[in-house]
Structure 1
Amino acid sequence: MSTGAIIGIVVAAVVIIALVAVVARMQSRRKHLRERFGPEYDRTVAEHPRKDAERELLEREKEHAKLDIRPLEPQARDRYAAQWRGVQEQFVDRPAPAVQEADRLVTVVMAERGYPTDGSHEDRVRRLSVEHASTMEHYRAAHRVRGKENASTEELREAMVHYRDLFTDLLGGDGHRGGNDGHAVDGDAPHRPTAKR
């Protein structure tokens, strides 16, 4: 076999190995992003070309890595859980203001955890999506209702349920329990918020 043929075979082998490595790296990155972002990955890919969407999600991870995100202290979790119960109780008589208060309380917990709360709603979603991707659709749905001028009581109730899911996720730890009194913050509650008729 001639030297030129050997060189050609070696070059072809190197190119094939490089292509396999690139494809494997892309698949590994895609798998990582799907596992990390879950439904947020699918949503982002549906809105943008896959390459752009994956670049966007990787950028979110980089931005998130710069943040000083911290868990809530147990006392803070208990305090916020008690405040949440108050918001749910307020819903019975004043559903629209309770939804506004639920949004405010979620924002307060975000800030205490170390998430920047400035900027638009989508900015907050981007920041939260790295660690709380599974609840981002809840956040978006609640925010849509919150911004609606004449939302029905049922829409407001659904918004409260969506905010509760995000709130519970943000509390972290065993934060889905309301502290020592055993009142539930999440779906373990004996009833969902309903307005008086």
Structure 2
Amino acid sequence: MSPTEIVIVTVAVLAVLAAAVLIWNFVRRRNLRATFGPEYDRVVAERDSRGAAERELRERERRREQLTITPLSEEARARYAAAWEEVQAEFVDSPTTAVGNADELLTRLIAERGYPSGDYAEQTAQLSVDHARTLSRYREAHEIHLTNERGEADTEQLRQAVVHYRALFAELLGEQPIHPPAPAQTEASTR
């Protein structure tokens, strides 16, 4: 092989390797975006670089694989659904208490499913792997809860917190965890 042919083959091999690396990075980024949804953009915005953000998200996936996430038994689902209905009913008379109870109930559910529940940052990081689409709502609800503890939340914020908590609560509980009102109740409430 002549020196020119060796250079051409080397350049071609390097071009193929560079293309493979670009494709590999593209596929990894696309998979992270698909897994984390809006959480991907949030982490990228918070970090110094896209690479640092993607390393963090891959680390979250690695840590999540070490957890044992378990489905709830039918009894547990029914117990949590009933407890959630109590929280919603409590909101009418005591919105501040209902928001605190919603936060506490959701924390218990998170722990029972197998996610960490002690450290809020670790909890949200692990939840982001499986529940990224509702995680921003959970964060907003938790912020309102903290504002509520300081006595600074108004009733509309408290209502919004319960709505946000409900999104992650329903997702963690499974399909149709919160029973819709009976048909007679629905008709009466629309009149």
TM-score, normalized by length of structure 1?
Answer: 0.87
Contact kept, 8 Å, 2:85 with 2:178, in 1: the verdict is no
Q: How does 1:38-77 map to 2 (within 5 A)?
A: 38-48=37-47, 49-77=49-77
Counterpart-to-counterpart distance in 1, 2:14 and 2:74: 56
Percent same amino acid at aligned positions? Answer: 47
Counterpart-to-counterpart distance in 2, 1:156 and 1:9: 67
Compare 41-50 and 126-135 and name the one that shifted more: 41-50
TM-aligned CA deviation for residue 101 of structure 1 = 0.5
Counterpart-to-counterpart distance in 2, 1:47 and 1:71: 32
TM-aligned CA deviation for residue 176 of structure 1 = 2.8
Contact kept, 8 Å, 1:81 with 1:175, in 2: the verdict is no
Counterpart-to-counterpart distance in 2, 1:32 and 1:94: 43
**Cα deviation 1:128-148 (Å, max 9, x = unaligned):** 000000011111100111001
Whichever residue aligns with residue 178 of structure 2, its letter is R
Contact kept, 8 Å, 2:64 with 2:129, in 1: the verdict is yes
CA-based RMSD: 1.5
Q: Which runs of 5+ in 2 are unaligned?
A: 187-191
TM-aligned CA deviation for residue 183 of structure 1 = 4.3
Contact kept, 8 Å, 1:141 with 1:159, in 2: the verdict is yes
**Cα deviation 1:45-81 (Å, max 9, x = unaligned):** 1111111111110000000000001111122111100
Q: How does 1:138-157 map to 2 (within 5 A)?
A: 138-148=137-147, 149=150, 150-157=152-159
Partner residue in 2 for 1:176: 177
Aligned length: 180
Partner residue in 1 for 2:189: none
TM-aligned CA deviation for residue 175 of structure 1 = 4.0
Partner residue in 2 for 1:125: 124
TM-aligned CA deviation for residue 177 of structure 1 = 3.5
Counterpart-to-counterpart distance in 2, 1:183 and 1:73: 23
Partner residue in 2 for 1:113: 113
Counterpart-to-counterpart distance in 2, 1:124 and 1:175: 24
